[in-house]
Amino acid sequence: MKHEANAENEVHDVAEFTDAARNVVTPVLQLPEDIALAVVNAFTKIVRDAKRSESATTPDGDGITRFQTFEEGDVYMLEAPFDDFFADRYLMDFYNVEERGVCSRMHMHTGLRFVRMMTGPATRIRVSSLSPFEITGVTGVTPFTLAPFEDTLPDTPPGVVRTRYNLVVPPCSFVDMQIPRGVSHQFNAVGEHAVIDSVHPEESVETFREKMSGFKMMAQTVFLADELPASDTCADLPA
């Protein structure tokens, strides 16, 4: 999938790109504001503590740097892979795109992902893809649903028009997303309180398959745009 295994800003042609599958999204639960805020803050504190930790910001005995940065936010590898277990787990402390002034780019990963998106008060996460989402639910169990909408992917090359499919994680909510390998996605948090708990079930496999030299979120990513788009292309959410 990667042209250069360790490249951290590899860009593929968005005009020619076709998703390998579709993202599957499952609403999980909604919480009272005070509880949601406590949960999100507890997770983001772990990431922020890691950012200040010398041991988390330098390679460990296996050569893994646990704290990293990504376009959507700071990340901390909570649980690392090992020889008998090829998965790992990350926490991501989202940037607020309204403060940052730019959105993350549409991208895909070299291995599949499972993410649980969690929001606190006055915070929403806009999730986007170049293919429609499959939204699941079980009557009597799933507590809420999501309303997908479409717009046009910004900042494409001249003459290239791609439909962008979107949904919004509401405040004080947990929403799961299963992301197959090679499927486009884009997360942007609007508000101060957003975190992702992300499981990478084939981290060691994809690193070996792509011939990468280490576990790096950026190197395990392929972007579909050269530049980060302006914040108004993702912060303008439907009411």
Domain residue ranges in the chain: 24-225
Give the tens place of pLDDT for each residue, 129-176: 999 999 999 999 999 999 999 999 999 999 999 999 999 999 999 999
pLDDT over 90 percentage in the chain = 97
What is the average pLDDT across 67-72?
Answer: 96
Q: Encoding tokens for residue 47?
A: 């990431």
Phi/psi region, residue 211 (left: phi>0; alpha: psi -120 to 50; beta: rest), is: left
Instruction: Say what the pTM is.
Output: 0.96
Residue closest to 166 by CA, chosen among 145, 179, 150, 155: 150
Domain spanning 24-225: CATH 3.30.420.40: no
The answer for residues whose C-beta is within 8 angstroms of residue 139's C-beta and 6 or more apart is none
Q: Are 50 and 42 in contact (CB under 8 A)?
A: no
Q: Are 189 and 67 in contact (CB under 8 A)?
A: no
Q: Encoding tokens for residue 77?
A: 């590898």
Cα–Cα distances in Å, from 175 out to 11, 22, 24, 57, 114? 28, 16, 11, 29, 11
- 3 state DSSP class of 38: helix
What is the average pLDDT across 217-223?
Answer: 96
